[in-house]
Amino acid sequence: MGRSSSNYSRRGFIKSSAAAVLFCNVPNFSETYINTVQGRIKPSGLGKTLIHEHVLVDFIGADKISSDRWEHEQVIRKVLPYLIEIKKRGFQSIVECTPAFLGRDVRLLQKLSERSGLQILTNTGYYGASDNKYLPKWAFTETAEQLSARWISEFEGGIEGTNVKPGFIKTGVNSGALSELHQKLIKAAALTHLKTGLTICSHTGPALLATQEISILQKIGVSPAAFVWVHANGSYEDMERIGKTGCWISLDGISNENIDPMADLIHHLKTKRLLKQVLISHDAGWYQPGEPHGGKFRGYTTISDKLIPALEKKGFTENDISQLLIVNPANAFAIMVRRS
């Protein structure tokens, strides 16, 4: 695929002096850091970032999943060209959102990071959406405190015997009112945040669920600023109301089919002074073990090639685009405790 013709792509990154002004809106920002699969970096080093993508996802279920179901070199042959595509477009980092028991493989991510030159973030936490198919058996019986202790252990000691530490917490809930089990997952995420400073990214969707999750976090003492409303879905009014809590609004399903409505929504959020809380990505990728050649893989270039030009036609400036792709991801994933 050819490079985008947008002015932003030709100009490259915002000048570092201007970026510093944007970053300094976050208290104690200079003292924070971000965990990648290669180690710590300063938030200002994250660069142009896609905040919700996948490399490999295995839908077989928590009771059957095993890393023996895929071979690293086969996955790398399939995925690496797509990562190189976005590296050529100026992206420096990708947030890989596949949770444990759904195909998280930090050794694979390390190899892809080394070969692509991209910084990659991975996660801790458990995913309760899809009717709990991807929860380990102990998630049903342990307390929120016990689950949190497991996630804190990965933050302090590394994931699965490696030196890789999570860059955020990934959890997920079903549609409808939160079940007791899913309330427990959110509570565990809140407790983990208060001990680690990791941002909470919760597969959520509808506005009602986001409101319920934020309420739980606040009761435990966690600011909505520590919460990413993943797959944010609702009316413009819902977006405004929930955005005013201070949470991150993650528009992470951007595709060739929804460029115009997404551009309209982002423009609307800008007019409501919420652009500093908007995160954008594709939720793309998805090498699937068990499928021939890993199945159909969707690349990560729609934002750079189609959405950014659409936003520029709506009057978005270089600073606006940098806010979305550089500043907001760095602010969102900077590791620091955010109390309510």
Compute the average pLDDT of residues 30-39. Answer: 93
pLDDT digits (tens, 9 = 90+) for 114-160: 999 999 999 999 999 999 999 999 999 999 999 999 999 999 999 99
Which band of pLDDT confidence, cut at 50, 70 and 90, is reported for residue 7? very low
Compute the average pLDDT of residues 229-258. Answer: 97
pLDDT of residue 8: 36
pLDDT at 9 over 50: no
pLDDT of residue 30: 66
pLDDT digits (tens, 9 = 90+) for 197-228: 999 999 999 999 999 999 999 999 999 999 99
pLDDT at 25 over 70: no
Compute the average pLDDT of residues 251-267. Answer: 98
Q: What is the pTM of this model?
A: 0.93
Q: 303 near 53, Cβ under 8 Å? A: no
Domains assigned to the chain: 35-333 (3.20.20.140)
pLDDT of residue 175: 86
Rounded to an integer, what distance in angstroms lies between the CA atom of residue 177 and that of residue 230? 17
